[in-house]
């Protein structure tokens, strides 16, 4: 079967809006109308698939959530919140949007099984990588990271993973599934070495799995004591970043299904990401687990700003 990204027929990319009309309005849309919803509310030129270096893949999937639901609304909330950002990142001194950022249509869930959904995400992310795109995956529950990590690992030998998460997520299976969100980092660790920051909740099984594998998992206190450089030293030259937003302290990020006290703060996360970008190549990343109905709008703003800043850190200034 040919790749769905091949131009020989009406493709998945066509349906996502790269070559299809951007509006169903019956007359040409002009400056009297709000722009089409996309990440950072970019105009057509900056958001065109062919031009864009970055592709945002929204995955509104939360089929294995075990606490409070709502992460399926996360991708749309992040994209809508991004319309309120200034496109000059004061912290980085650059405008990441100049690389071009295309926002795909939301990826439909595969209702056959969580494993089938992980495979769907892996297939789509892989096809985008093969097109030379830098892929940003927006969840949805943290399980969406499994497919994205696998797609990157298959194309980048020696890839390592930097995970931000309050929970260890190292169970081999949970509630009769190996693709429950409580198993995300266990599945990721099967294809890449994982280093985690933000840990403050784990089962005894997870504790043993981390110890037996000699993995570097840092609580917020341990991270503060070790420093960003020590964390980066655990990582290979090419790094995939997966962010479960419950890694942040609930005072800054309450809109998550399983909040844990004593989390990371914005400046700490930024410090680590800046140190990483200076020393390693960021191959791709995801931002997951925003449940917008469970917290103030500021939580979606944080997630949008984090996504935009990570694009800038990964790609640097546009030439």
27 assigned to some structural domain: no
pLDDT < 70 positions in the chain:
1-29, 33-35
200 assigned to some structural domain: yes
pLDDT in tens, 257-313: 999 999 999 999 999 999 999 999 999 999 999 999 999 999 999 999 999 999 999
pLDDT for res 200? 97
Secondary structure of the chain as H, E, C letters: CCCCCCCCCCCHHHHHCCCCCCCCCCCCCCCCCCCCCCHHHCCHHHHCCCCCCEEEEEECCCCCCCCCCCHHHHHHHHHHHHCCCCCCECCCCECHHHHCEEECCCCCCCCCCHHHHHHHHHHHHHHHHHCCCEEEEEECCCCHHHHHHHHHHHHCCCCEEEEECCECCCCCCECCECCCHHHHHHHHCCCCEEEEECCCECCHHHHHHHHHHCCEEECHHHHHHHCHHHHHHCCCCEEEEEEEHHHECCCCCCCCCCCCCCCECHHHHHHHHHHHHHHCEEEEEEEECCCHHHCCHHHHHHHHHHHHHHHHHHHCCCC
pLDDT for res 28? 57
Number of domains in the chain: 1
Which CATH number characterizes residue 162's domain?
3.40.800.10
15 assigned to some structural domain: no
1 assigned to some structural domain: no
32 assigned to some structural domain: no
Token pair for 301: 């703003």
Residues composing the chain: 319
pLDDT in tens, 67-101: 788 999 999 999 999 999 999 999 999 999 999 99
Token pair for 160: 């390592």
pLDDT for res 180? 84
10 assigned to some structural domain: no
Match 């690389």 to its residue by tokens. Answer: 99
267 assigned to some structural domain: yes
9 assigned to some structural domain: no
Give the range of the structural domain holding residue 54, as residue numbers without chain letter: 38-315
Match 């991270």 to its residue by tokens. Answer: 223
């Amino acid at each position: 079967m040919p790749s769905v990204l091949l131009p020989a027929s009406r493709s998945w990319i066509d349906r996502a809006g790269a070559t299809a009309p951007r509006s169903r309005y019956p007359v040409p849309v002009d400056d009297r109308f709000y722009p089409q919803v996309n990440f950072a509310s970019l105009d057509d030129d900056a958001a065109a698939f062919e031009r864009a270096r970055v592709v945002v893949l929204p995955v509104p999937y939360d089929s294995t959530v075990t606490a409070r639901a709502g992460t399926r609304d996360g991708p749309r909330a992040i994209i809508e919140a991004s319309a309120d950002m200034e496109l000059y990142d004061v912290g980085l001194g650059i405008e990441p949007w100049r690389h071009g950022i295309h926002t795909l249509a939301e990826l439909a869930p595969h209702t056959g099984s969580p494993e089938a959904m992980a495979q769907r995400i892996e297939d789509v992310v892989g096809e985008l990588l093969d097109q030379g795109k830098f892929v940003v995956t927006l969840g949805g529950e943290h399980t969406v990271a499994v497919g994205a990590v696998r797609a990157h690992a298959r194309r980048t030998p020696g890839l390592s993973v930097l995970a931000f998460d309050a929970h260890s997520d190292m169970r081999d299976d949970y509630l009769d599934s190996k693709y429950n969100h409580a198993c995300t980092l266990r599945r990721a660790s099967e294809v890449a070495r994982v280093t985690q920051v933000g840990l403050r909740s784990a089962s005894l099984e997870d504790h043993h799995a981390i110890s037996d594998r000699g993995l570097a998992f840092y609580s917020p206190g341990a991270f503060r004591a070790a420093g960003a450089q020590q964390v980066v030293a655990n990582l290979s030259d090419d790094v995939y970043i997966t962010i479960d937003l419950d890694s942040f302290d609930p005072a800054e990020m309450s809109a998550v299904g399983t909040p844990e006290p004593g989390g990371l703060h914005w400046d700490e996360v930024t410090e680590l990401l800046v140190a990483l970008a200076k020393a390693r190549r960021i191959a791709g990343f995801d931002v997951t687990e925003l449940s917008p109905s469970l917290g103030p709008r500021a939580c979606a703003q944080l997630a949008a700003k984090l996504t935009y800043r990570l694009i800038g850190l990964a790609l640097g200034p546009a030439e």
